[in-house]
Amino acid sequence: MADKVGILTAGSDCPGLNASIRGFGKAARNTYGMELVGFRDGFRGLVDNRTLDLSGEALSNILTDGGTILGTSREIPQAMGKNGETLDLTDDAVNAYHAHNLDALVCIGGRETMEAALHLKRAGLNVLTLPKSADNDVPMTDTTIGFDTAKDIATEAIDRLHSTANSNHRIIIVELMGREVGWLTLGAGIAAGADVILIPEIPYDISKISKAILERNQAGKMFSIVAVAEGATSSELVAFFERSIKLDRKTHTGDLEDDMARKMEALKKKYGGQTLLLANRLEEATGLECRITILGYLLRGGAPSASDRVLATQLGTRAADLIAEDQFGFMVGYRHGGADCVPLEDVAGRQKKVPLDHSWIKSARHVGTILGD
């Protein structure tokens, strides 16, 4: 059984990280007698060998705290900045692991963390991961640490905007995180009764949205709430992407489908963030005033919800069980009603988008929500 284990939090912060550290750390220490080594600021701390003492009372009174006592960063060992260059510092990470005589390393993070952990596994380290993401975009888990809290915060924000939208007869556009997936916007939009929900998975038609808003006004509903993911894209822009890709086909080399997918993602990143344009076009089409509220990093702050605290504790304690059983190379996710381990190979490099036949989308349509298509 493992005697000494490292732990780090990587990627963007979100509520529930401290609850995860606590859940894993207390189970590892109290149940299995393991010694803990915390690495500061994600994989950067591992590479630079910067640690935080997790003995004594370090894990007390952090369950309800937002953020992470370990700090975090988005850097990964295989592509890390050093002296103005981007270098592969995997060997430094491996050396730090062995310098501390670690038996395992627990990495709490999102999609980039899953890829980095798989990379370290292939470099010979015993790793486990826990999925965190306010966007809920990590595959092979029903939900991620931080998603429930972000959804609650977004729902309350939209709730509060209803009164000012109604009082001033305006269109209020609320932009939420979600550059590539729409789970957060869809969930919060349904919960808060948004009239329009726009997500990256469903390209929207501005004329259909405008028509629906005008019909609401004619029916005596003098305001509309539009919940939009930051990566939502108009059908016109998608058509532009597709035309641009077709023009490049003559110079294509390699697998056509993969090449087209890469180019589509690059174009979306370059031309994404169309919320201001959306507001201007809705004003022109409807004659109604539009106001934009961007929630941004607000969704990552504050204390985790009860559900996130329970989830983080479940996944953290299960990770301790797996290490005690010498089981490595897994993500500990939530599936089938409980903590479940999934090989990192099945997670890394993948993304969980909202399926177009998902029950949330069906329910939204049934209650008359406009999805832009």
Instruction: State phi, psi for 354 to the nearest 5 degrees.
Output: -75, 120
Does residue 326 have an active-site annotation?
A: no
Which SS3 state, helix, strand or coil, does residue 322 take? helix
Catalytic residue among 13, 41, 103, 135: 135
Residues 6+ apart with CB under 8 A from 273: 230, 231
How far is the C-alpha of 174 from the C-alpha of 278, rounded, in Å?
A: 11
Residues 6+ apart with CB under 8 A from 351: 111, 137, 139, 180, 181
The number of residues in the chain equals: 373
Instruction: State phi, psi for 135 to the nearest 5 degrees.
Output: -85, -15
Strand ranges (E), the chain: 4-9, 35-39, 51-53, 80-82, 85-87, 104-109, 127-131, 171-176, 196-198, 224-229, 290-294, 330-335, 338-343
Q: Tokens standing for 98?
A: 């062995």
Active site residues: 135
